[in-house]
Amino acid sequence: MGIFARLSDLLKSNVNDLIDRAEDPEKMVKQVIIDMQTELTKATQNYGKAKASERLAEKKYLEAEKISADWEAKAKQALAKGDQELAKQALARKVKADEDVSNYKEMYESISDQTEAIGDQVEVLKSKLEEAKSRQAMLIARSQMADTKKNLAKASGSFDGNSSFEKFQRMEEKIERKEAEADAFSEIAGDALSGGSGDDLKDSFAKLESDAKVDAELQRLMAEMNGGADSQDAE
């Protein structure tokens, strides 16, 4: 792809088209700038060479004109002295110099036209490069914004709020069940460690009460029996 074709892409295409056609639009924009700078450098170098050729052709053209004018002056000088033969020889040299003038003039004008065209190209490239640089930051920012919007749209499209909240509730219920199971196992484990006797304090008081009743019954029987024995002794 030529530099002007890529330049046309950069300056005329819609940024969305640019994004569609390039894997990385930011790199493409930067690469176009680099390519344009390279082309401008080459064009400037060529312009410098063309100007040098133009100056050389102009120098040859002016030298040929000077030589022609010198031979014409010498021919006039010879005629002034009445020496036509010498004048004719000088004019012969002038004719040869005039041919050189014509050839160098044609060469100079051709090179000058080409140099002017190259100079125009250099100015166009400079202008386009400045325009591209001024738009580079904007294009990159728009590309990044488009990527951001695209990613956000994808994220929003794939996110189901209701479904996510239901999952959250199910996890909460599962944790509550685990907590209830843990409490139940702790209670069972506590009973097992105590030997299944329930409340030890209550059991102790109950045993004391039972023992007291047994002792009371024992004392009653013993009193009855002792009382009976005392009655028999008295008879």
Report pLDDT digits (tens) over 131-152.
888 787 777 777 778 778 877 7
**Residue at 181 is within a domain:** no
Pick the more confident residue, 172 or 91: 91
Sign of CA dihedral 146, 148, 153, 154: positive
What pLDDT is attached to residue 186?
A: 74
Q: Are residues 141 and 215 in the same domain?
A: no
Q: What is the pLDDT of residues 86-126, one digit of tens each?
A: 899 999 999 999 999 999 999 999 999 999 998 998 998 88
Average confidence (pLDDT) over 13-38: 69
pLDDT of residue 152: 78
Mark whether 105 and 216 lie in a shared domain.
no
Higher pLDDT, 231 or 128: 128
More confident site: 208 or 120 = 120
Shared domain check, 218 and 135: no
Average pLDDT of the segment spanning 81-88? 90
Residue 156 CA to residue 161 CA, distance in Å, equals 10
Q: Is 64 a member of any domain? A: yes
Count of domains in the chain?
2
What was the pLDDT predicted at 12?
52
Sign of CA dihedral 124, 129, 130, 132: positive
Please indicate, yes or no, whether residues 78 and 144 belong to a single structural domain of this protein: yes
Q: Does residue 214 belong to any structural domain of this protein?
A: yes
Quick one: pLDDT band at residue 170, thresholds 50, 70, 90? confident
Please tell me whether residues 18 and 134 are part of one structural domain. yes
Domain presence at residue 193? no
Domain with 71, as residue range(s), is 3-159
Q: How far apart are CA 195 and CA 210, in angstroms?
A: 21
The domain boundary residue, chosen from 97, 125, 159? 159
User: Residue 33: exposed, middle, or buried by beta-carbon count in 10 A (0-12, 13-18, 19+)?
Assistant: middle
pLDDT at residue 206, rounded to an integer: 79
* Nearest-angstrom CA–CA distance, 215 and 221: 10
Banded pLDDT at 130 (limits 50, 70, 90)? confident
